[in-house]
Structure 1
C-alpha cells in the first residue's frame, strides 16, 4: 500500500496561505523537488490544482518563463510530469496529466493508496483536512518558516479530533526554516 504524504509550508502562527511570504529559496526549493520526486502522483483539490497549474505548468512553447529561476526548474519539471488526481465537484474536465476524482472521496483515496508504488502526495488546505479527519494521511511534513503572518487559513483548522504524531525526521535550513516530518503515533 502506498503511503499518503502531506507536506506544506506553514508560518510560526500556523498560517498556510501561499501569499503569507513563505517563498522558498534555492536550498528549500531543492527540498521541495525531492518531496515531489518521492511521489508517484499528487492529489489536489480544485483550488490547489488551479494554483499549481497556473504557476508550474510548462508553457506550450516548452520554454519555462523568464521569471523562473534556474533552481526552480527541477521542481517545475517534476511537478509538470507527475500524474495528478483532482478532487472537484465543479470542474467538468482537467488536463495537465490529470484526472478527476469522482464519487466517494474516502473510497477513491483508499483505491489510490492500494495501488503499487512509492507514495502519494497531497497538497492544499481543505482536502488534506478531509483526509486527515478520515485517518488517511500516513505522513505529515510541516515546513515551518520564521514568519508570523497574523492572518489567513490555518494548518488543519477544524480537525475533528486530536491526532498524536511522532517525529521521524527534522531538517534545518540556512534561512531558519525547519522541516519536521511526523507520522501518526501508535495508539497506546
Structure 2
C-alpha cells in the first residue's frame, strides 16, 4: 500500500499561510523538489491546486517567467511534470497532469493508496484536516519556520481527536527552519483507523 505523506511549511505558532514564514531559498526549494520527486503523485484540494498551478505551471511558451530565480526552476520542473489528483466538488475538469477526484473522499483516497506506485504527497490545509480525521495520513512532514506569525490560519483547527505522533527524523536548514518528520504513534491498521 502506498504511503500518504502530508508536508507543509508552518511557523512556530502553527500558522500555515504560504506567505507567513520565511521566503523560500535554494536549500528549502531543493528539499521540496526532493519531496515531490520521491512521490508518485500529488494530492490537492481545489484551492491548493489552483494556487500551485498559477505559480508553477509551465507557461505555454515553455519558458519560465523572468521573476523565477534559477534555483527555483528545478522545483518548477518537478512539480510541473508530477502526476496530480484534485479533490473538488466545484470544478468540472482539471489540466496540468491532473485527475479530478469526486465522490466519497475516504473511499477515493483508499483506492488511490491501493494503486501501485510511490508515495502520495498531500498539501494544503483543509483537505489534510479531513484526511487526518479519517486516519488516512501515514506520515507528517512539518517544515517549521523560525517565525511567530501571530495571525493567519493554523494547522488542524477543528480536528476531532488528537493524533499522537512519533518523531522519526529531523533536519535543520541554514535559514533556521527545521524539518520534523513524524508518523502516527499508533500504527494505522488495515481499515485506516
Same fold (TM over 0.5): yes
Structure 2 distance, partners of 1:52, 1:146, is 24
Could you tell me how far 1:108 is from its partner in structure 2? 0.3
Match of 1:130 in 2: 130
SS in 2 for 1:53: helix
Structure 2 distance, partners of 1:177, 1:21, is 9
Could you tell me how far 1:99 is from its partner in structure 2? 1.1
Could you tell me how far 1:21 is from its partner in structure 2? 3.5
Match of 2:186 in 1: 186
Which residues in structure 2 correspond to 1:92-171 (within 5 Å)? 92-171=92-171
Match of 1:68 in 2: 68
SS in 1 for 2:47: helix
1:44 aligns with 2:44: yes
Q: Describe the superposition over 1:3-40 as per-residue Cα deviations: whole angstroms up to 9, x where unpaired.
A: 00000000011000012143211111111111010111
- Alignment TM-score, normalising by the size of structure 1: 0.97
Structure 2 distance, partners of 1:21, 1:180, is 16
Structure 2 distance, partners of 1:25, 1:156, is 26
Q: Kindly indicate whether the alpha-carbon contact (under 8 Å) linking 2:41 and 2:118 is maintained by their aligned counterparts in 1.
A: no
Q: Kindly indicate whether the alpha-carbon contact (under 8 Å) linking 1:9 and 1:22 is maintained by their aligned counterparts in 2.
A: no
Count the aligned residue pairs.
Answer: 187
Match of 2:190 in 1: none
Structure 2 distance, partners of 1:50, 1:23, is 20
SS in 1 for 2:43: strand
Note the aligned Cα RMSD (angstroms): 0.9
Instruction: Specify every segment of 5 or more residues in structure 1 that has no aligned partner in the other structure, as ranges.
Output: none
1:89 aligns with 2:81: no
